[in-house]
C-alpha cells in the first residue's frame, strides 16, 4: 500500500490560536487533494514557550474551534498539536489524530521538561498512553518531542511493530557543528530518528517547527527516514517548508531487521528496572 504524506513545517505565533488555525486551514487546503496524511509539529495550534498562557489557549476535545480541521479530515487524515484541557482541569501537551471527520486518537506527552525561563515551574501534566494506533493504512506509532529521548516511550513499539513512527517536535537550536553548519541539537535528532528507523524497521517521520520565541530558535529540519535509516526527503533548516512524499508500506512488511519480542524476558527486565529505581 502506498501512503501520500504531507509535512507541514511552519512558524506558529505564540498563543495566537486564530492565526495558527488560519495557517492550518491554508495548509490543509493545499494538501487535501495530494495527500492521505498531513502532519503538523508539536503544539502547532498554540506555539511552544507558553508558560502562563497555557490555561488561556487550552482546548477540550470537543471544542468548536477544531471543526475546520475535522471537516478537512473527511478525506485527509490530520495530526496536529495543541494544549489539551483534559479531565480534572489538567493540561496536556497533546497530539490529535483526526480522520473521517472525527477525532480518532489523542496522544499526550509523557516526559515533560519545564519551558525555558519558567523557573522550573510545571505547566503540563504527564500522559501515559502507549502511543500505537491502528489506522486504515497500517499501524502508527506516536512520539511527542522529548519522549523520544527516553527509551521507555518506545518499548510498546517492540511488540506492536508500527509501520510508521511519527515524531512531532518543538526542537530548539543549541550548539553548532562547524562540519555540517547546523546546530548540534539538529544533528542529534537526525542520528536518533535514523537509529529508531533501523531498530524498529519502520519509516520514521519527524516534523519540527521553525521560528523564534522569546529569543529561542527552532531549527526545523523535518524529514522522512526509511527502515534502513536513510533519509528519503527533508525540509530545509530555519525556514517554513511543506513537502510531499509517497511511502510504499508493503515493501518492508517482512521487517527483516525488526526486534524479536519475548514477553517474559521484557517483563523480567522491567521488574529489575523497577527494583533498581
DSSP string, 168-208: EE-PBP-S--TTTSS-HHHHHHHHHHHHHHHHHTSEEEEEE
**Across 15-162, where does the E strand assignment appear?**
37-39, 77-85, 91-99, 102-108, 132-135, 138-144
- Rounded Cα distance between 157 and 142, Å, is 10
Confidence band of 179 (pLDDT split at 50, 70, 90):
confident
**86, pLDDT greater than 90:** yes
Q: How many CB atoms lie within 10 A of CB 199?
A: 18
Confidence band of 263 (pLDDT split at 50, 70, 90):
low
In order of 66, 190, 230, 237, the CA distances from 180 in angstroms are 40, 12, 17, 12
Comparison of pLDDT for 1 and 266, the residue scoring more = 1
Name residue, grid cell 497500517.
138
Cα angle 170, 155, 4 (rounded to 5 degrees) comes to 55
Residue 153 lies in domain: 2-276
| Pairing state between β 223-225 and 231-234 | antiparallel
Q: What is the pTM of this model?
A: 0.92
- Rounded Cα distance between 159 and 88, Å, is 32
- pLDDT of 170 reads 97
- pLDDT of 180 reads 77
Split into its structural domains, the chain has a count of 1
Task: Residue 149: name the closest of 109, 202, 97 by CA.
Answer: 109
Cα R_g (the chain), whole angstroms: 18
Segment among 21-35, 88-102, 125-139, 193-207 with least mean pLDDT: 125-139
Confidence band of 59 (pLDDT split at 50, 70, 90):
very high
- pLDDT of 54 reads 96
- pLDDT of 61 reads 97
CATH number at residue 123: 3.60.110.10
Give the helix ranges, DSSP H, for the chain. 17-31, 54-57, 67-72, 155-160, 184-200, 263-276
Segment among 28-37, 132-141, 218-227 with least mean pLDDT: 132-141
pLDDT tens-digit readout, 144-153: 999 999 888 8
**138, pLDDT greater than 50:** yes
- Rounded Cα distance between 253 and 96, Å, is 27
Contacts of 243 (CB under 8 A, 6+ apart): 6, 7, 9, 222, 233, 234, 235
- Rounded Cα distance between 25 and 118, Å, is 31
- Cβ contact 93:47 at 8 Å: no
**Over the chain, what is the mean pLDDT?**
90
Q: Please provide residue 39's backbone torsions phi and psi, each rounded to the nearest 5 degrees.
A: -125, 125
Amino acid at each position: 500500500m502506498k501512503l501520500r504524506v504531507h509535512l507541514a513545517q511552519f512558524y506558529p505565533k505564540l498563543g495566537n490560536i486564530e492565526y495558527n488555525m488560519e495557517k492550518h486551514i491554508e495548509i490543509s487546503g493545499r494538501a487535501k487533494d495530494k495527500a492521505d496524511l498531513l502532519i503538523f509539529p508539536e503544539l502547532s495550534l498554540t506555539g511552544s514557550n507558553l508558560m502562563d498562557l497555557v490555561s488561556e489557549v487550552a482546548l477540550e476535545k470537543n471544542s468548536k474551534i477544531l471543526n475546520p480541521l475535522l471537516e478537512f479530515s473527511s478525506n485527509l487524515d490530520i495530526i496536529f498539536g495543541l494544549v489539551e484541557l483534559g479531565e480534572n482541569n489538567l493540561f496536556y501537551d497533546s497530539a490529535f489524530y483526526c480522520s473521517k471527520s472525527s477525532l480518532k486518537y489523542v496522544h499526550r506527552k509523557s516526559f515533560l521538561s519545564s519551558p525555558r525561563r519558567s523557573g522550573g515551574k510545571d505547566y503540563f501534566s504527564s500522559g501515559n498512553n502507549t502511543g500505537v494506533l491502528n489506522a486504515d493504512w497500517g499501524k502508527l506509532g506516536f512520539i511527542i518531542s522529548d519522549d523520544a529521548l527516553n527509551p521507555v516511550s518506545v518499548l510498546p513499539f517492540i511488540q506492536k511493530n508500527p509501520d510508521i513512527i511519527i515524531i512531532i517536535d518543538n526542537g530548539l537550536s543549541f550548539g553548532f557543528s562547524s562540519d555540517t553548519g547546523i546546530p548540534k541539537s539538529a544533528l542529534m535528532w537526525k542520528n536518533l530518528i535514523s537509529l529508531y528507523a533501523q531498530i524498529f524497521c519502520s519509516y520514521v517521520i519527524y516534523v519540527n517547527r521553525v521560528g523564534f520565541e522569546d529569543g529561542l530558535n527552532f531549527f526545523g529540519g523535518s524529514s522522512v527516514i526509511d527502515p534502513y535509516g536513510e533519509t528519503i526527503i527533508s525540509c530545509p533548516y530555519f525556514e517554513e517548508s511543506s513537502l510531499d512524499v509517497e511511502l510504499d508500506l508493503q515493501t518492508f512488511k517482512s521487517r527483516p531487521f525488526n526486534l524479536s519480542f519475548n514477553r517474559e524476558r521484557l517483563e523480567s527486565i522491567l521488574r529489575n528496572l523497577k527494583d533498581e529505581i
